[in-house]
Amino acid sequence: MPHGHSHNHGQDCGHEATDVDHALEMGIEYSLFKKIDMDNLECLNEELEGSGKKVFKAYENRLNHADFVQSDADEELLFNIPFTGNIKLKGIIIVGANDNTHPNKVRLFKNRPKMTFDDARAKADQEFELTRDPRGEIEYSPKVVTFSSVHHLSLHFPSNFGDDATRIYYIGEVMIIEFNYNEKILTSHFLYKGLRGEFSESHYHGVTICTYEARPNVSDHKNEAFDGVNRTIQ
């Protein structure tokens, strides 16, 4: 049994939503791939050069199998992902095929730019046993304390379910973003469940703060110290 994630599909009121509403919310939440520095993103051992960048896309395109990355020499893949600012990682979704090419483990490394496969032999900051997820329904939740102030994230996929090559269609990330733009301080908060977000912009003549929340959930306002729990997306 894979560790650290739940297959609970509870039908409590806090989770009720139509498929359209849910897709809309997740699309907004997972739009943060735009904060990745795509020009400097690397994928090691990709069969087709540049294909690794294409799996970071809009949530609503996660089931579009036209774009994917497949490993070359063996089943390993290693992504070096720089961000345009500091982020706090809240969750990851990984979509693969419903076969043995789907990765069965991901290992996360914080703030270690330009990692190689030799570097990836070191102890990871966190790792997850993966379940085949062809529809992007499972979110893996990194430790909040560990994955705060992240400017670079490396994702190492060491193996799959038994195929010679690993194939990935989509990688999505939930994160909180904090970055400086000229003399303004911009902060965006996007949290899973309830689509809760905050954006603040600091000016010379004052501070403007906007708070956005859709379908608030009581659990969203609990202590963020609840780490390492994966949620199955309803």
pLDDT tens for the 234 residues of the chain, in order:
444 443 333 333 333 323 444 554 555 555 556 788 999 999 999 999 999 999 998 888 889 999 999 999 999 999 999 988 888 888 889 999 999 999 999 999 999 999 999 999 999 999 999 999 999 888 888 998 998 888 999 999 999 999 999 999 999 887 665 544 444 444 433 332 212 222 222 233 444 334 333 333 434 444 444 444 454 444
The HSE-up count of residue 62 (CA atoms within 13 Å, CB side) is: 23
Element (H, E) at 27: helix 19-29
Q: What SS3 state is found at 231?
A: strand
Which residues have a Cβ under 8 Å from the Cβ of 17 and sit 6 or more positions away? 25, 215, 234
Burial of 159 (0-12, 13-18, 19+ CB in 10 A): middle
User: What domains does the chain contain, in order, with CATH numbers?
Assistant: 13-26+35-173 (2.60.120.470)
pTM flag (> 0.75): no
CA 198 to chain centre: 19
Q: What is the tens place of the pLDDT at every residue in 117-165?
A: 999 999 999 999 999 999 988 888 899 899 888 899 999 999 999 999 9
